[in-house]
Structure 1
């Protein structure tokens, strides 16, 4: 699985260098607010944050974040906080912040709503991020993948997040039922 993280990081870097398409072929060229387990989602009864797990260590990262993305101009901004737990899910190893530094890809799944307002949309976004652990003088480059399964997601889509910080941490498995993500169409 560690090889998967390295390959994923290399594909992200290649996408950045080659200027890959930010919007999927199914549309979604608009602007969106994105939310990961933040106050906006908590107001709908969802828990704080969303979690991903390391398949090699069992460690868990809980991420909270919000921001904007423009699929047409292939730009994004925002960020949030993280808490890195040991495999028991309670021992805190580190905390810190993260900031979006780029949009590497965006696949739009649609704005079906499924009981939510019609502006609530699904999709998968891959962000380049800078991760700054509390007390650290430097930020580390990384990647965050956020996926919301509203709309018409492809087979195998999974609600949640994944986080890679090459050489430091790999949280490559979503933790089901740990939180929620959503894109809000703002055109």
Structure 2
């Protein structure tokens, strides 16, 4: 089934417009097709996801996409980003796109929180390319289901030469 992994926001209205397709699934649901939303939504604390580097700089990210977990490891998606230094000045901004899925850990169904069972939580690591030419790893965390202790909802971004935003 299609599952939804989120960062900060779930867009429940979007799900009613999506066709649900049955795909082979193993016991860990790691062969399913998932959707992710970053810093988008129609309810709750809206707004982009922001991650901070040790030097005080921040990255703000918004976007959507999908991926197949398991042996297929296909992924796609895109959005916008902005990097600001510790003083708040924009140092880079543009678009980002998913170039691959590096891994997925399922946290299970949102039924554990009393939400519809077709909503799903987990952690996905995505290879991304920024329009400024930099490649990196974007990790999206959605704390629905049964996440491990110590995890936070949101994103991290590790860039080759430019920073580690957590």
**Into which bin does the TM-score normalised by the smaller protein fall?**
0.7 to 0.9
Contact kept, 8 Å, 1:24 with 1:107, in 2: the verdict is no
Take 1:51 and 1:108, find their aligned partners in 2: how far apart are those partners? Answer: 23
Structure 1 residues 36, 24: closer, same or farther in 2, change over 3 A? farther
SS of the equivalent of 1:161 reads strand
1:7-61 per-residue CA deviation (whole Å, 9 max, x = no partner) reads: xxxxxxxxxxxxxxxx9973332111110012xx2x1233221011001x11111
Report the aligned-residue RMSD: 2.0
Q: 1:177 maps to what in 2?
A: none
TM superposition shift of 1:169: 2.1
Take 2:114 and 2:92, find their aligned partners in 1: how far apart are those partners? Answer: 37
Instruction: For structure 1, list consecutive stretches of 5 or more residues without a partner in the other structure.
Output: 1-22, 134-138, 174-187
Q: 1:45 maps to what in 2?
A: 44
Q: Does 1:80 align with 2:74?
A: no
Instruction: For structure 2, list consecutive stretches of 5 or more residues without a partner in the other structure.
Output: 1-24
The residue correspondences of 1:168-183 to structure 2 (distance < 5 A) are 168-171=162-165, 173=166
Q: Does 1:66 align with 2:64?
A: yes
Structure 1 residues 70, 50: closer, same or farther in 2, change over 3 A? same
Residues matched between the structures, number: 140
Contact kept, 8 Å, 1:26 with 1:109, in 2: the verdict is no
Q: 1:27 maps to what in 2?
A: 29
Take 2:141 and 2:26, find their aligned partners in 1: how far apart are those partners? Answer: 13
Match of 1:100 among 98, 101, 109: 98
User: Relative to structure 2, which stretch is displaced further, 76-85 or 110-119?
Assistant: 110-119
Take 1:129 and 1:62, find their aligned partners in 2: how far apart are those partners? Answer: 15
Q: Does 1:164 align with 2:158?
A: yes
Q: 2:118 maps to what in 1?
A: 119
TM superposition shift of 1:168: 1.7
Take 1:124 and 1:25, find their aligned partners in 2: how far apart are those partners? Answer: 17
TM-score by length of 1: 0.68
Take 2:52 and 2:62, find their aligned partners in 1: how far apart are those partners? Answer: 15
Take 2:65 and 2:90, find their aligned partners in 1: how far apart are those partners? Answer: 26
SS of the equivalent of 1:150 reads coil
